[in-house]
A and B are shown apart, each in its own frame.
Chain A
């Protein structure tokens, strides 16, 4: 019974994290049809800026410790928007007519560049900023204790998920976006400013990645390579759910998160295997992912 609880709650925590990491990836793909290999780099940029800012805050400034959360989010927003905009305007906007697979390679090149840029700026030594994590304390659920910070992540993920879904399905902007997703050419003909939509979407996506990184920073040691690890997980989640679908990312995150938690508690040696195992299994049955649409070519 306790194990079951542990699996469920750990699974929820992990799923929330996975969803935060995957949301930006799926948003960008959904609208722009770009599978952003560099997504993990935005995660790591967010983590680094968040960690260094919070580190600076606790080492010198005399403010209330709770301000560190605002700093984390602020760092993510600024770094995600600035770097995202720079890349979209400086490079990607010139390549929108290219193949999906070529864009994978372009964003792979971006990943290589951003990884080293991060190292050059932040160095290779790990950053630890546990204060925001421990500040919230722990709580007991049954016989188990959990960090409140982790539990709070569930709420944050829920807010992000709801915000994405509402924007897409309940606002005017969402309506326009859906038109762009349906048929780019027709949307252009209807007078939609697709360029602007793309730029905005990309920045939202990268900022979501940066937020995930910044919020994760207090729980890990921020070091080179975290982005590269994350991207593959995000892919797995997004592919399970169906590329480009927010609902899919939620369900994919839950499925992968809870399965991994089960593996950690029941059979730790297959932990990593299980994540990709779920992905392979889902794809074998439903190649387009759980929420993906099947697109046959019209001839």
Chain B
């Protein structure tokens, strides 16, 4: 195994708030890493920094051994690392199909052509395969803003995977999704991820889900990583028990998420 993503002494603050303090993370190729931590712990900030959306105040980020600090988001995406979003980032007034077609165009290269049509036969065929893979065929021609949350999250992830990344960061893939839908959604996602042989890091509040899918857990608290290791070790950690899990982070996270959205 080789290291795919590594951060060294990553810091970030917003005014008086420290959202990341001395983050040292090393993720091996092929791992499935879960990230836990209460709201405001700095999980999204970590993903934002690693994908170039937010510059760190200080520290180093290495992707496949090469420094990516200062690189633009799109360079990092094209390099093979991508993400999904806490609130699905789609094109709300377009159909689901068009959303995928745009992602397919983007995957073809940084300079889309002004000649060939967007809705080419080959792209549509590809999009239909993806719709099936993520089990969202029934929304193919629906306008995104009329599609339910769970399907939106899946489409968001599908669009991220179209670029054939080697590393995927999922920011709360199951937030906003009903309890019954969470496991099927994660099953679909993890199946796709395995098929694409992607290293995954995902943020999740539901400990059962974390336990079921990950080989390793990072626990964030107030901008710091307070525990890192196999699930049993992290969940057993007294500090994690007190600061993360004790804070209402078992299963009943619904209300909290709603107020955070």
Contacts and interface: CB of A to CB of B under 8 A. Distances in A.
B74 to A, nearest CB: 15
Interface residues of A, number: 1
A97 to B, nearest CB: 15
A299 B169 CA distance: 14
Contacts of B44: 299
A299 B86 CA distance: 7
Interface string A283-299: 00000000000000001
B53 interface: yes
Nearest to B171: A299
Interface of B: 44, 48, 53, 85-87, 89
A186 to B, nearest CB: 12
Contacts of B87: 299
Contacts of A299: 44, 48, 53, 85-87, 89
Nearest to A298: B44
A299 B90 CA distance: 12
Nearest to B44: A299
Nearest to B83: A299
B84 to A, nearest CB: 10
B44 to A, nearest CB: 7
Nearest to A299: B85
B154 to A, nearest CB: 18
Contacts of B89: 299
A189 to B, nearest CB: 12
A299 B87 CA distance: 7
A188 to B, nearest CB: 16
7 contacts: A299-B44, A299-B48, A299-B53, A299-B85, A299-B86, A299-B87, A299-B89
B160 to A, nearest CB: 13
Interface in A260-299: 299
The 7 closest A-B pairs by CB, nearest first: A299-B85, A299-B89, A299-B53, A299-B48, A299-B86, A299-B87, A299-B44
Contacts of B85: 299
Interface in A204-258: none
A299 B48 CA distance: 8
Contacts of B48: 299
A299 B53 CA distance: 10
B58 to A, nearest CB: 19
B245 to A, nearest CB: 26
A93 to B, nearest CB: 26
A299 B85 CA distance: 7
B147 to A, nearest CB: 19
A226 to B, nearest CB: 41
Contacts of B86: 299
Nearest to B54: A296
B90 to A, nearest CB: 12
Nearest to A296: B54
B83 to A, nearest CB: 9
Nearest to B87: A299
A296 B210 CA distance: 31
A299 B89 CA distance: 8
B169 to A, nearest CB: 12
A88 B152 CA distance: 38
A299 B49 CA distance: 12
Interface string A99-131: 000000000000000000000000000000000
Nearest to B89: A299
A299 B88 CA distance: 9
A299 B44 CA distance: 8
A185 to B, nearest CB: 12
Nearest to B86: A299
A174 B87 CA distance: 34
Contacts of B53: 299
B53 to A, nearest CB: 7
A299 B73 CA distance: 14
A4 B3 CA distance: 66
A183 to B, nearest CB: 14
B214 to A, nearest CB: 23
B203 to A, nearest CB: 13
A293 to B, nearest CB: 12
A299 B203 CA distance: 14
A162 B44 CA distance: 42
A190 to B, nearest CB: 16
Nearest to B53: A299
B225 to A, nearest CB: 22
A202 B73 CA distance: 41
B51 to A, nearest CB: 10
A299 B261 CA distance: 11
A168 B89 CA distance: 37
